Amino acid sequence: MTAATLLPVRVTLLDTWEEVRFELPADTPVSRVKGLVLADRGESPEGYLVKYRGAELAEGTTTLADAGVRPNGALIVLPRRRTPVR
């Protein structure tokens, strides 16, 4: 994929099971995707992680293309710490 390629992705915020769809450049950092999803909630991105196909994605300089995210790939944003079940 080239840098100009737009990649449709689906991102689910596990807290609410809300799915958000984006069309982002393939060179978008994973941390940016997480920030976009959490921006409206006022949550700190440091308390969350991103998973793709069950594996946590490194967020430093990893882009969607580096992570192997395919068109219409489903990412999940979830809290780093597990929440207790009552």
Position 34 in a domain: yes
pTM: 0.82
**Alpha-carbon distance 81 to 70, whole Å?**
27
Position 80 in a domain: no
Angle at 14 between CA 47 and CA 54, to 5 degrees: 90
Residue 32, pLDDT above cutoff 90: yes
Position 1 in a domain: yes
Position 73 in a domain: no
State residue 4's pLDDT score: 63
Domain count, the chain: 1
Q: In sequence order, what DSSP letters do the residues of 28-40 get, joined into one string?
A: -BHHHHHHHHHGG
CA atoms within 13 A on the CB side of 47: 12
Position 75 in a domain: no
Position 44 in a domain: yes
At 60, the pLDDT band (50, 70, 90 cuts) reads: confident
User: Containing domain of residue 45, as a range?
Assistant: 1-16+28-67
Position 9 in a domain: yes
Please, which residues have CB within 8 angstroms of residue 22's CB and are 6 or more apart in sequence? 8, 9, 11, 33, 36
